[in-house]
């Protein structure tokens, strides 16, 4: 029996499903869902306006599966970095160089995700240059512009600097890169629509980072840097705990509501049917001790909303030095009665070992540390968020956020 050839629409849908199922790429699942995805007969390769993604039918039909996945990542990384709104001024100066600069940045990320191109590859014509590693599109643009003016040794090929309208209607062989960018379409969005898109992208990436943590996937440093500059640590902490502690608001008589018991009235308390305990583990370095009260205060506020069964507060250095257990009704006492203990060495492995040895099954773990550790520990069989007081340090597992004043 002959296998029926998939249509362009089916191939694009299949590629999306494959990417969302991979730990390396599930981060972008929410980005894939933003805007409209369509197959167009009049688009030579692919195009985005920063919200919608359009793929040329003939181009999709002729490229390999791994190249199609690379193409889809390419368009959606333009969306994730908000290239067509962030760098609109560069497009006004020189549209071709703006296109090239944005492509150079994201193509390095795609290449790094699969250097051997076994599952994901860039289609022919993708711009790739190691000298732009670690740069944003603005920095790349300035280098390209200088080269075009002959101010550096590396001069570009004749004609490369000529500006041209990139609206997806030209011959793709005449373009720099394999896709086109609909700057005019992005410009036509209202200010309100652009603000909503920015909010939706930020939310999609935050949710994607949580999903990547669950699937033991990673978050590229470029995405981490962008998220860190946009997201307050309090919001990131709340987002993490909320995602694993969803309260079903079930009333129970097992624990009378303490607020009414003192008045001689017995009413059921409300608990989350599936919400267990949360482990908060703080190292006893000087910088963490300084911020401990502020962080615990935020956690208490979040707990009042998600209503976990309780919090196990661990203090650790090279060992778990103290364990304080608070039921939900006792969380007020956590702020006044806690007694931090410890101070010698910093080894997060002791917390992972404690959770395993004592057969704890928390909904999630929040590790608080200055980040100067022997290792990040292994055997974490539970979602972990690292609240790190030192800038620029990222754990090799879980999700990392910078906690500051």
Token pair for residue 203? 């939310």
pLDDT greater than 90 at residue 221:
no
* For residue 282, pLDDT beyond 80: yes
Structure tokens at 278: 């949360």
| Res. 351: pLDDT tops 80 | yes
The pLDDT of 121-130, averaged and rounded, is 93
Q: Which two tokens stand for residue 342?
A: 């410890």
**pLDDT single digits (tens) 47-87:** 999 999 999 999 999 999 999 999 999 999 999 999 999 89
According to DSSP, the β-strands at 180-181 and 46-48 are parallel
Task: With residue 386 as reference, give the H or E element that holds it.
Answer: strand 384-388
Average pLDDT, the chain: 83
Residues sharing a CB contact under 8 Å with residue 302, sequence separation 6 or more, in sequence order: 237, 238, 241, 242
- 155 or 15: which leads in pLDDT: 15
Residues contacting 313, CB < 8 A, separation 6+: 280, 281, 282, 296, 323, 324, 325, 326, 334, 338
Task: Provide the pLDDT for residue 325.
Answer: 94
Q: Which residues contact 340 (CB under 8 A, 6 or more apart)?
A: 282, 284, 289, 292, 315, 322
Which is more confident, 326 or 232? 326
Q: What angle do CA 35, 16, 181 make, to 5 degrees?
A: 50
pLDDT of residue 270 exceeding 60: no
Taking the CA atoms of 27, 198, 295 and 237 in sequence, report the sign of the dihedral they define.
negative
pLDDT at 40: 96
What is the mean pLDDT of the segment spanning 122-129? 93
Per-residue exposure over 47-66, b if at least 16 CB sit within 10 Å of its own CB, e if not: bbbbbbbbbbbebbeebeeb
| DSSP 3-state of 97 | helix
- Output the pTM of the full model: 0.59
Task: Walk me through the domains of the chain, giving residue ranges and CATH numbers.
Answer: 8-193 (no CATH), 233-402 (3.40.50)
Q: Identify which has the larger pLDDT, 174 or 104.
A: 104
3-state secondary structure of 384: strand
Residue 258 is predicted with a pLDDT of 53
The rounded percent of the chain whose pLDDT value lies above 90 is 47
Q: Is residue 100 within 8 Å of 90, Cβ to Cβ? A: no
pLDDT of residue 289: 67
Mean pLDDT of 15-39: 93
Asked if pLDDT for residue 252 goes beyond 90, the answer is: no
**pLDDT above 80: residue 156:** no
Q: SS3 for 16?
A: helix
How does residue 374 score in pLDDT terms, banded at 50, 70 and 90?
confident
């Amino acid at each position: 029996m002959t296998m029926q050839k998939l249509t362009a629409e089916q191939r694009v849908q299949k590629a999306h499903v494959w990417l969302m199922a991979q730990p390396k790429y599930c981060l972008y699942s929410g980005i894939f869902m933003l805007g409209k995805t369509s197959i167009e007969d009049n688009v030579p390769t692919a195009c985005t306006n920063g919200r919608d993604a359009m793929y040329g039918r003939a181009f999709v039909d002729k490229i390999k599966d791994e190249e199609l996945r690379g193409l889809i990542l390419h368009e959606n990384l333009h969306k994730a970095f908000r290239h067509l709104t962030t760098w609109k001024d560069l497009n006004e100066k020189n549209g071709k160089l703006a296109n090239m600069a944005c492509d150079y940045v994201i193509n390095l990320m795609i290449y790094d995700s699969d250097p051997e191109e076994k599952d994901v590859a860039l289609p022919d014509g993708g711009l790739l240059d190691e000298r732009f590693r670690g740069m944003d599109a603005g920095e790349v643009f300035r280098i390209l512009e200088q080269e075009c003016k002959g101010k550096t040794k590396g001069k570009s090929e004749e004609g490369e600097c000529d500006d041209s309208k990139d609206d997806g209607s030209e011959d793709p062989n005449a373009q720099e890169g394999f896709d086109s960018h609909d700057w005019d379409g992005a410009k036509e969005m209202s200010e309100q629509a652009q603000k909503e898109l920015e909010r939706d992208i930020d939310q999609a990436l935050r949710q994607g980072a949580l999903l990547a943590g669950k699937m033991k996937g990673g978050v590229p440093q470029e995405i981490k840097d962008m998220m860190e500059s946009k997201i307050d640590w309090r919001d990131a902490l709340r987002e993490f705990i909320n995602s694993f502690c969803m309260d079903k608001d079930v009333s129970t008589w097992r624990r009378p509501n303490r607020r009414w018991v003192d008045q001689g009235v017995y009413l059921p308390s409300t608990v989350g049917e599936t919400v267990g305990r949360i482990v908060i583990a703080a190292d006893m370095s000087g910088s963490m001790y300084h911020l401990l009260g502020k962080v615990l205060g935020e956690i208490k506020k979040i707990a009042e909303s998600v209503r976990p069964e309780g919090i196990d507060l661990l203090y650790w250095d090279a060992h778990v030095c103290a364990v304080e257990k608070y039921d939900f009704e006792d969380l007020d006492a956590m702020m006044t009665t806690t007694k931090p203990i410890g101070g010698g060495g910093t080894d997060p492995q002791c917390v992972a070992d404690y959770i395993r040895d004592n057969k704890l099954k928390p909904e999630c773990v929040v590790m608080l540390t200055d980040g100067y550790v022997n290792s990040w520990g292994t055997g974490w069989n539970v979602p972990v968020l690292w609240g790190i007081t030192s800038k620029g340090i990222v754990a090799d597992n879980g999700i990392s956020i910078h906690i500051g004043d």
